[in-house]
């Protein structure tokens, strides 16, 4: 089975239409934890596909997308205060 890595995805998009498209893309890949911040467990090919799709939507001079990988040890150290929990790894998927 291919290993999924954990990522924090954060965007800053200057245009409402592009922002909505990027939000839909991120929602298809992970869980929204803040307005423009998502957590996702992705395989390497899924990450590459998402980045290709995002580049087609974004304007490089106006928009930004940050992808932060977090290793298992770092995930264990994540501190959350208030409402919300760290996104759990995906369970067994039967196709």
In the chain, the N- to C-terminal Cα span, in Å, equals 13
This prediction has a pTM of 0.84
Cβ within 8 Å of residue 70, ≥6 positions away:
6, 7, 8, 78
Architecture of domain 5-73: 2-Layer Sandwich (3.30)
Residue 92: band (very low, low, confident or very high) from pLDDT cuts 50, 70, 90: low
- What pLDDT, on a 0 to 100 scale, did the predictor assign at position 56? 97
Pairing of strands 31-34, 5-12: unpaired
Convert the pLDDT of each residue in 31-80 to its tens digit. Answer: 999 999 999 999 999 999 999 999 999 999 999 999 999 988 888 888 88
Locate the domains of the chain by residue range: 5-73
């Amino acid at each position: 089975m291919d290993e999924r890595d954990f990522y924090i995805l954060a965007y800053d998009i200057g245009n409402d239409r592009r922002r909505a498209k990027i939000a839909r893309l991120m929602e298809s890949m992970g869980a929204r934890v803040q307005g423009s911040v998502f957590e996702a467990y992705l395989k390497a090919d899924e990450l590459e596909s998402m980045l290709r799709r995002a580049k087609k939507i974004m304007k490089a001079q106006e928009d930004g997308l940050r992808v932060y990988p977090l290793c298992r040890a770092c995930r264990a150290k994540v501190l959350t205060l208030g409402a919300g929990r760290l996104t759990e790894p995906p369970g067994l998927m039967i196709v």
